[in-house]
Amino acid sequence: MARTVQQLFDLQGKTALVTGGSRGLGLQMAQALGEAGARIMLSSRKAADLEEAVATLQDQGIDARWVAADCAKEADIQRLVGDTLERMGDIDILINNAGATWGAPAEDYPIEAWDKVMNLNIRGYFLLSQAVAKRSMLARRSGSIINLASVAGLGGNPIEMKTIAYNTSKAAVINFTRALAAEWGPQGLRVNAICPGFFPSKMSAGLLEVMGQKILHGTPLGRLGDDEGLKGLTLLLASDAGKHITGQHLAVDGGASAVVGG
């Protein structure tokens, strides 16, 4: 018998690991999965932020725990996966969301900043996906990996946005998603990417201060993302409701990327 829509979206009994999960989009996505019944393991670099985020989730009735880890460091990634498996069992859903940016003109861009952004935004995604797949998903022929890319990976820059490493890393995430989906699809894993537009956050605050009105003017829906904007898509890609979706990326940007010349 075919399942109901509610059953397809149900994540009861599933475990999700969410990096960059202590605030912003990561915490929003963790809430979506937890509200659908998943157990949540949050990770970011700062224990105090994680404690606060987990308390918020637990107050909402969500089974949530945390591990502090730096996803730019391979040893931390291996420890994060090991701790999650030991404390929560197999990992069914991985959200690669930990990220960094750095602003500077391309001609003056420090190589140290380039390496910092690339190491976290794409190398870290690869190492964590590899570890979770090898230690949990591939043997069970099941799992959903969701990579956070960005509309910044779909084209160039607004001229005010001097973030060449960030944009390059997010374009890499999109093709990383495609390649991994093609390779691991025969083993039952799904890999997709979300490309958020502008959501108010610590990372976007400076840019929104400079060009917030220009962004709104170029957005058909006339608004920024909010604290619900990624929940529906995250749940779709994580659950059996999206079981035939893999290798895809979708912009969540109020229509800005659909505007000619946008």
Q: What angle do CA 169, 154, 108 make, to 5 degrees?
A: 50
pLDDT digits (tens, 9 = 90+) for 133-159: 999 999 999 999 999 999 999 987 777
Bridge-partner residues for 148, per DSSP? 194
Position of tokens 């025969």? 186
In angstroms, rounded to a whole number, what is the distance separating the alpha carbons of residues 44 and 37? 22
Residue 11 placed within a domain: yes
Residue type, 117: V
Residue 206 placed within a domain: yes
| C-alpha closest to that of 80 among 3, 132, 151 | 132
pLDDT for the residue 172: 98
In angstroms, rounded to a whole number, what is the distance separating the alpha carbons of residues 180 and 116? 23
Sequence-separated (6 or more) residues with CB below 8 Å from residue 2: none
Strands 93-96, 15-19: parallel, antiparallel or unpaired by DSSP?
parallel
What is the domain count for the chain?
Answer: 1
Strand order in the sheet with 143-148: 64-68, 39-44, 15-19, 93-96, 143-148, 189-196, 249-252
pLDDT for the residue 161: 82
Residue type, 166: Y
pLDDT for the residue 218: 83
Return the structure tokens found at 40: 């949540």
Q: Is 166 a catalytic residue?
A: yes
Asked if 21 and 234 count as a contact pair (C-beta separation under 8 A), the reply is no
Question: Which member of 166, 176, 198, 199 is catalytic?
Answer: 166
Q: What pTM was computed for the model?
A: 0.95
Question: Exposure pattern of 31-43 as b/e (b: 16+ CB <10 Å)?
Answer: bbbbebebbbbbb
| C-alpha closest to that of 161 among 190, 197, 119 | 197
Give the residue numbers spanning the domain of 214. 5-256
CATH of the domain at 173: 3.40.50.720
pLDDT for the residue 61: 97
Bridge-partner residues for 42, per DSSP? 18, 66
Residue 227 placed within a domain: yes
Residue 261 placed within a domain: no
Query: What letter would DSSP give residue 233?
Result: H
pLDDT digits (tens, 9 = 90+) for 154-209: 987 777 788 999 999 999 999 999 999 999 999 999 999 999 998 887 766 666 66
Residue 262 placed within a domain: no
pLDDT for the residue 158: 75
Asked if 94 and 143 count as a contact pair (C-beta separation under 8 A), the reply is yes
Residue ranges for the chain with pLDDT beneath 50: none
> How many other CB atoms are found less than 10 A from the CB of residue 113?
18
pLDDT for the residue 234: 98
